[in-house]
Chains A and B, each alone.
Chain A
Amino acid sequence: MAFAHLTGIFPRSEELITATRAFERGRADKSALDRLFEEEAQRLVALQVEHGLDYVTDGLLRWQDLLRPLADELPGVHAGPVTRWFDNNSFYRRPVIEAPLEPVGGAALRWTSVRAFEGRPWKAILPSPWAFAALSEDRAYGDDKALLRDVAEVLRAEAASLAAAGCRYIQFSDPVLVARPREGALAPAQLALARVVEGLNVRTALYTFFGDAAPLLPGLLDFPVHEVGFDLFATEVDRLDGRVREQVLLLGGLDGRNSLLEDPQEAAQTVRRVADRLHADQVAVVPSCDLEFLPYEVAVAKVRRLAEVKRLVG
């Protein structure tokens, strides 16, 4: 059985880009910009519904990067230096943690266009605790374990707020585990995520990208989430080893970082091959990463292609 949905930030349309530039130059006011963000989120939801995606997202259109809502809203944290986002020609502002973290909750929810979902099953995306800790600068703790523990509490509160607002699926994104692998990372990363999702009454997923997931299997399949996945454009699929238990396997079979539209037959074949290799009965075909690395129209074309690949996978 196959599903399909998006995995991250969606690019802004040319119209929205023009509006954000005008706002930054003081030529447009915030309320007008907010209205445009809402309208675009609605159009994006409609696109996903039209093509039969199983969960919808608002494209995280207002998020400047995966960590920004937390960097901007957590007490004692601020968005720091412009830092390259992994091996991309894009950047994030590295969160600087100046004081012990407080699990206030609600930050990601405030940056989500909930009205755009109109009651449909919607999906939220958060950084995993391991990723947030690794991608931040710690000036408060000096103790990785304590930092990770408190980051887990923060994300637990965030997840609870999203669930209370009607979210049905939360994906925890973790490019760090695979793109910046560290000896012994899986155990603390798994424990931290376990704390985040403990008692959470929503579907949960761990999605990794930008790096090779093969060395982390089968361990990655032990994470206490309903769905686990990885980027097929970064993973040595011939080295994959493991057996999926009851999880849905998320397979990043459309390249979120290249405009070339994949041949749907070849993409479906690759997805089936990997699913068979890991004995997965249920698969979700997803983009390899956020689609924000593509221009808007190309990303829209990828959504259509995603739906086609999902149909072929069956």
Chain B
Amino acid sequence: MQKVFPTQEIGSLAKPAWLVKGVRGVRPSPEDRAELDYWAARLEIEGVDDLRRLLATNGERSEGAKQAIRDWGALFAVRFLEAAGLDVVYDGEARRVEMYEYPVRRIDGFQFYGHVRSFDYRYYRKAAVVDRVQLREPFHLDELGFVKRHARRPVKVPITGPYTLADWSFNEYYLREAGDIRDLRRRNYEAKRRFVMDLATEVLRPTLLALVEVGADWIQIDEPAAATHPEEVPILVEAFNAATEGVRAKLSIHICYSDYRALYPHILQMRVDMLTLEFKNTGDYNIVNIFKEFGDRRQIGLGVLDVHSDVIETPEEIQEKILQAVGILGAPERIWVNPDCGLRTRTWDIAFAKLQNLVEGARLARETVAG
């Protein structure tokens, strides 16, 4: 990628109603079908009659039919991101329930207990580790294979990192194992470390190696929990390096909604090519100063879209933020441009408009820098 300010997605897109209902065996409503028709036309997706036939009936679907519907969901998302103009794409995580539950259901040693709240009326299912973790089999492989066969742009595959998987889980097994440590804080720390490292070496690393085997040349490791416990950043870094040992691919880490200062200086030891971060939600782009202050010379994915708001950022606003970052870092070749996080809480109309403006804003910034 030669040009400055290349653009990329970060993660999830909203799953269209026809996809969710279709997999469940519920016939989409006229509104759902209209949405399908609209986006099929807008994204110039061919052969959609096959999908319409799959969705035409009510009732339990065969595994083959479910797979086919999910394939369509992935294809729509790939074309969506390409049509918005992004340089690097994926499938909007169309096949994944969400970033925590999907991998955890594929790892032995976990037991789901029920929902906990994220905020307002948003919840997620949380599991406890009740036994030593073991990978059943590497995941995301078929999903990546499909995207690579159909994408017309370079591809980057996201995967949830070991620290976040541990942090978002209850820790029963490793806490019991560390029961000989009397101090409750030290017991928790050591139990967490053992949990994270087992996830890194027994689950993530074999999966990353398998992803490279099937063609991954860029892997984004999602660690939204990264900076929530500053005293645990050494665990994050140790685990990242252990998980990526011998993995021959470009590596980026995505961290959103955090106090980024808490990551330094330990994160300088992380063997990663790019840090993709959130800035738009807080509006504080001077965080970029932190990278300059600590002499971090890696690539930065600048978050320029607020994924929790329907306000469409203007290209000029995005251009200004990019140039602000250039002014601080003085290294346009190190800056990538992306949303703060996944866009799954926005409708496709809103997400598309935001991404189009992101692409245009990057283009305007590119023109300014070239001029």
Contact = CB atoms under 8 A, between A and B. Distances in A.
Interface string A20-32: 1101100000000
Interface in B328-369: none
Interface string B151-184: 0000000000000000110111001100000011
A243 B229 CA distance: 31
B228 A88 contact: yes
Interface in A260-308: 260, 270, 292-298
A90 B183 contact: no
Interface stretch (A166-174, A194-202, A228-236): A228-236
Interface in B112-135: 113-121, 123, 126, 128
A258 B171 contact: yes
Given A91-B257, A270-B184, A295 B114 contact: yes
Contacts of A161: none
B185 interface: yes
A234 B185 contact: yes
Contacts of A218: none
Given A84-B257, A233-B185, A90 B113 contact: no
Nearest to A21: B121
B282 to A, nearest CB: 7
Nearest to B306: A81
Interface string B178-207: 000001110010000000000000000000
Given A88-B228, A233-B188, A292 B116 contact: yes
A238 B113 contact: no
Contacts of B116: 11, 90, 292-295
Interface in B219-242: 224-225, 228-229
A187 interface: no
Contact of B114 (A64, A233, A292, A298): A298
Nearest to A20: B121
A142 B189 CA distance: 39
Nearest to A86: B228
B250 interface: no
A136 interface: no
Given A236-B183, A298-B114, A89 B225 contact: yes
Given A17-B123, A259-B128, A12 B117 contact: yes
Nearest to A23: B121
A234 B187 CA distance: 11
A235 B185 CA distance: 7
Interface string B20-47: 0000000000000000000000000000
Given A81-B282, A82-B281, A259-B172, A298 B113 contact: yes
B119 A64 contact: yes
Contacts of A233: 184-185, 188
Interface string A71-115: 000000000011110011111110000000000000000000000
A295 B117 CA distance: 9
A24 B119 CA distance: 13
A235 B119 CA distance: 27
B228 A295 contact: no
A297 B308 contact: no
Contacts of A14: 114-115
A23 B121 CA distance: 9
A38 interface: no
B185 A292 contact: no
Contacts of A84: 228, 257-258
Interface string B302-322: 000000100000000000000
B217 to A, nearest CB: 31
Interface residues of A, number: 40
B225 to A, nearest CB: 6
B113 A89 contact: no
A2 interface: no
Contacts of B126: 295
Contacts of B225: 89
B171 A11 contact: no
B120 A64 contact: yes
B118 A259 contact: no
A42 B258 CA distance: 37
A238 to B, nearest CB: 7
Given A87-B228, A258-B175, A238 B119 contact: no
A65 interface: yes
B113 A295 contact: yes
Nearest to A253: B184
A237 interface: yes
A258 B183 contact: no
A199 B288 CA distance: 49
Contacts of B183: 236-238
B188 A90 contact: no
Contacts of A20: 121
A11 B116 CA distance: 7
B99 to A, nearest CB: 11
Contacts of B171: 258, 260
B185 A236 contact: yes
Contact of A297 (B113, B257, B258): B113
A84 B308 CA distance: 14
Contacts of A87: 228-229
A302 to B, nearest CB: 12
Contacts of A293: 116
Contacts of A238: 183
Given A236-B185, A237-B184, A259-B113, 19 more contacts: A11-B117, A14-B114, A82-B257, A82-B281, A89-B225, A90-B119, A91-B119, A93-B120, A232-B184, A233-B184, A235-B185, A258-B171, A259-B170, A260-B170, A294-B113, A295-B113, A295-B114, A295-B115, A296-B114
20 contacts: A14-B115, A21-B123, A81-B282, A84-B228, A88-B228, A89-B167, A90-B117, A90-B119, A93-B119, A93-B120, A233-B185, A234-B185, A237-B183, A258-B171, A259-B128, A294-B113, A295-B114, A295-B116, A296-B114, A298-B113
What 5 A-B pairs have minimum CB-CB distances, sorted nearest first? A295-B114, A259-B170, A91-B119, A20-B121, A87-B228
